[in-house]
Structures are given as structure tokens and as C-alpha cells.
Amino acid sequence: MTDFTLKKHPAFRGIDGALLLVILDGVGLYKGRAEGYEGNAVDIARTPNFDRLVERANHFIRLKAHGTAVGLPSDEDMGNSEVGHNALGAGRVFDQGAKLVSEAIESGRLFEGPAWKEIVAQAKGRGAALHFIGLLSDGNVHSHIHHLFALLRRAAQDGVGKIRVHPLADGRDVNPVTFHLYGEQLESVLAGLRAKGCDARVASGGGRMTTTMDRYNADWEMVRCGWRTHVLGEGRAFKSLAEAIQTLRAEKPGVIDQDLPAFVIADEQGKPVGPIVDGDAAVFFNFRGDRAIEISRAFAERDFKEFDRVRAPKILYAGMMEYDGDLHIPPRYLVEPPAISRTVSEYLAKNGVRQLAVAETQKYGHVTYFWNGNNSEKFDSATETWVEAPSDRISFDKKPAMKAREVCQVVLEALESGRQKFIRVNFANGDMVGHTGNLAAAVEAMETVDECLGRLDEAVRRLGATMIVTADHGNCDQMYEVDKKSGKTKLDAQGRPVVKTSHTLNPVPWVLVGKHADEFTVNTTIGTPGLGHVAATLLTLLGYEPPADYLPALVLPK
């Protein structure tokens, strides 16, 4: 049985008043107008209160909030609200993405989950097929070929009689001309399944930069091409994957895998062998989200309007993972979030510390469920209070203020009452408005949040409380796409900035202010501080010694 006893900190007795943690969802740190970038809503917005906090702060730290700092496979992976709040509340980094999928497959947990069972049951229907779509390589950035092979073999083992694979050529995360090698491995696996009585074949494919795997709404034509190819079975037909690769390369000397045109595999009568039809099931087996979101939307959204789907088959669709936890894309996914125990709030609850969690609907689950280690229940109803401000059901750029003021009021009343020792609050504006791609609305959102920060700061100073201001990942700090090579804003054919609606790879702020802030110094033993260091910091400020396996606190008593 876990011992949740917290020892008193040997060098600090704990703050006198309340400890307030303010999470500015989707607010990262990036260059602004002075550095030649015009798309940073955080920089453009008038934020006198945030600016003053940074200037007055005893400690200002840039926290890593993406990639390996939050358990993702590589530092090319953007953070998100789910893994961000997991790390903030857990005090440790748990595997996400590729590592999580591999473990779920090896342990068998993936195949015992409800999504897999539903997919298999659907695919075993009369005349139905199970389709697998995704990047075919071992690059381990977006997908891994061994994950696909495990799914294929288990599907056949579970009694699925018809399987169709729609592989996408890589050539970016692996050597540029290797699709034929991965194709040979795939065909070998499929041949083994056919030998055991399963009708398993390649059905369609294409290069990742021509077919299906667009991201950031940059080129929906790629997704439409994928839909036409995978779902409708329309396109240039070949007898086999090998023939398709050989022919397309011969016709376009020097072409690399990522740029291969889309293709369809047809039978002897010229009919496509694997269009996706009513009654089928489909799995997108990429684990990384950025290039999986758009095709998932096309499958999952009833009122999809990005392009004419012509035919939207009634199927069961699942992603390998939930690619966008903010928008819950897709609704069904195979790998559940990581099992996280001994979060900071569980420790506090078991030690009788009264806590309050506040957010509007869009982020309510993040300061409760995800913060508590994917636990939907309170650890102690007697000491924990959760308050939700119902979000409006409109596009958030239509009302950038969202429910920030209502959320702020709840926190102000709690600070005045003195009932809770630890309060955590999430302001959703930077992320949810940032996702709309509307720069002007994002600026307004930031200014609303700054107004709330000013009100909270005044209360903290007046009441002798302590406040930390941070974020879970970036978003509205980069509203225009940036070309990696030139570092300049990407422009479309008309010379307009290409809108960015996704999260960023930028660090987030961490600011400590309040009555006891000057009693601490930055912990210089931490090489690259990240979100996972916040939990130990909270315990230290509250006068407790953090658990030995927690990441070290960002600040230490002087």
C-alpha cells in the first residue's frame, strides 16, 4: 500500500496564505514584431499585467512543454493540453506516443480495450473489411511499421476475414527512397495472413506529401486526394504495390518517396480491391497527431465541410491515439492515456490540504481528470472542490473572452474566503481561440486573460498569497506558419501569411510572485526545466518535502 505521508520541508515552513497556480492554456514564448514576426498574439496584445508580473517576478523561467519533456517520442512533437496537464500534476514524465503504443501492444492492453473490440466486431460483419491507413516506415516519428504488423496479425487472429492496407510512403523520417523495402516487408506479412485464410491485401497508397497527411490546414487537397484514393477507390490503378512503386518511379526519375503520386490497387477486372464502404471499420495507425487530424476529421465529422467527400461511408473509425485532446479528434482511439499514480493533488488530498480546481468546460477536464493522472474522481470529496463554468457553444473567435471573467470571479471569491490552501485555474482562451486561426481574436483573447491576471495579482498582493503563472503548451504565440529553413513567415500563392491553428514547439513562461517569492532562489541544478518540475515546486512552497522520485523543484529556499 502506498504511503502518502508528506514530510515537512527541512528548510521552509510553507507559505502563510493560499498558493494560486494560474495556467494560461496555449500561451507560449516566441519572437515578436521587434524580431520580424507578425503572428504572435501574445506579443501583439496589450498585456500590462503580464508584463508587470514578468518584470516584478523574483523568478522568471522558460519551461519546456513539448516533446520529451512531456513524454512524447521526440522534440519534433508538439505538446498538448492533455500531456501538459499530466506532467504538471504528476511531477514525473510518463511515456506518451510511440513508447505508449509499443507498451500497449506488448502488454496486450490495446487489444483488450473497448475500441479495438468494437472495431473487430464491426469488421467481422458479413462482407465487411478492416482498413489500416498510415505511414509505412520505421521512422518512429509518426508511426512504426511494427505497430502495424502487430495490429494486422491480431486482427486476423481475432477472426477478421478481410483486411485492406493503405500505406503512405515516408522518405522524410527515413531514407528518401526506401518505400519498396517497407512494401516488401508488408507484403510478406500479408502473404502470411493469406496463407492462414485471411483475405489481406494492399488497397491504395501514395506519398506522405501528396496524399492524406496534410497538417495545419495547409493543403486540404492532399486530404481530398487521400479520401478519393482510400475511400472511393478512385485513381490510377496498378496490379500490386510493387508495380505501383516501380512504375511511378520510372515515370518520374529522381522522385523520392514522400512525393510519389497516389495510386489504387485493382483486381483482374480493373476494380479497386479495397474501397471503404458502409459497414467497414478503419484504423489510422499513426500515433503522432499533427498529420492525422485532418483525415480523422474527414472520417469522424458528420457536418464536414473542408471538401466534398462525395460519399461518406457509415463505418467505425479509430485513431491509434486521440490526436487532439482539445477537440477530441477522433472520438474513438485504440490506446488509452498513460496510467499515472501519486499525483501532487493525491498527496495533498491524503494530507488534508484543501484544494480548488476551476476552469470553463473546454478545459475543465484538464485541471481535474488530466491533472489528477487521468482520474475522473476526486481523491477526497471533503477537501477537494471542482468548479466548472459552462463554455458557450459557438466558435470561440466569435467571443474571444470566452468565460475567462466568470472563471476569474470564482477564484477571486475563493481567495477572499480563505477556504482553500491550493487553487489551480485554467484560462482556456489562448488555446481555444488560437485554434481558430483568427489572429485578431487571439489578441483579444490574450487581452481578456491579462485583465483577469491583473485582478488576481491585486488580490494575491492584498491577501498575502503566492501566485505562479505558467502554461501547458504554446499556441496563440505563433498564429502564422514559419518556414523552418528561412525562419520567415510562410506565404500562400496570394502573398498572405499561412494561418497556423495548431500548438507550437515553443517554451512557456513560469513566473513566481507574492508574499514569499523573495525567500526562494532558482534551482540551478536542473539542466532543462520543464512542466514536470512544477509539482515538486508546489509541494516545496506549501512546506512539504517532495517525493524522492519527483522531478526536482524549480526553486529552492534560500
Positions marked catalytic = 81
Q: Which helix (H) or strand (E) holds 508?
A: strand 508-514
**Rounded-to-integer distance, Cα 151 and Cα 535, Å:** 37
Rg (CA), the chain: 25
β-strand 384-389 against 466-470: which pairing, if any?
unpaired
Secondary structure of 367-436 in the HEC alphabet? HHHHCCCCCCCCCCCCCEEEEEECCCCCCHHHCCCCCHHHHHHHHHHHHHHCCCCEEEEEECHHHHHHCC
Hey, how many other C-beta atoms are within 10 angstroms of the C-beta on 440?
A: 13
Position 188, amino acid: S
Residues whose CB is less than 8 angstroms from the CB of residue 206 and which lie 6 or more positions away in sequence, other chains included: 168, 169, 212, 225, 226, 229, 260, 261, 262, 263
To the nearest 10°, report the CA torsion of 343, 347, 350, 353.
-110
Rounded to 5°, angle at Cα 509 from 504 and 510: 140
C-alpha span between 204 and 275 (Å, rounded): 9
CB atoms within 10 A of CB 515: 16
C-alpha cell at 217: 490546414
According to DSSP, the β-strands at 355-360 and 422-427 are: parallel
Q: Residue 136, SS3?
A: coil
Instruction: Give the whole-angstrom CA distance, residue 557 versus residue 172.
Output: 47
What DSSP element (H or E) covers 340?
none
3-class SS at 284? strand
SS (H, E, C) 218-270: CCHHHHHHHHHHHHCCCCCEECCHHHHHHHHHHHCCCCCHHHCCCEEEECCCC
The number of beta carbons lying within 10 Å of the beta carbon of residue 54 is: 14
Which of left, alpha, beta for 141 (phi over 0: left; psi -120 to 50: alpha)? alpha
- The enclosing H or E element of 523 equals none
Q: Which of 231, 321, 246 is nearest to 276 (CA)?
A: 231
Distance (Å, whole) CA 472 – CA 21 = 12
| Dihedral sign, Cα of residue 210, residue 211, residue 216, residue 217 | positive
Owner of C-alpha cell 488530498: 349
Q: What's the angle, vertex CA 519, arms to CA 514 and CA 524, rounded to 5?
A: 110
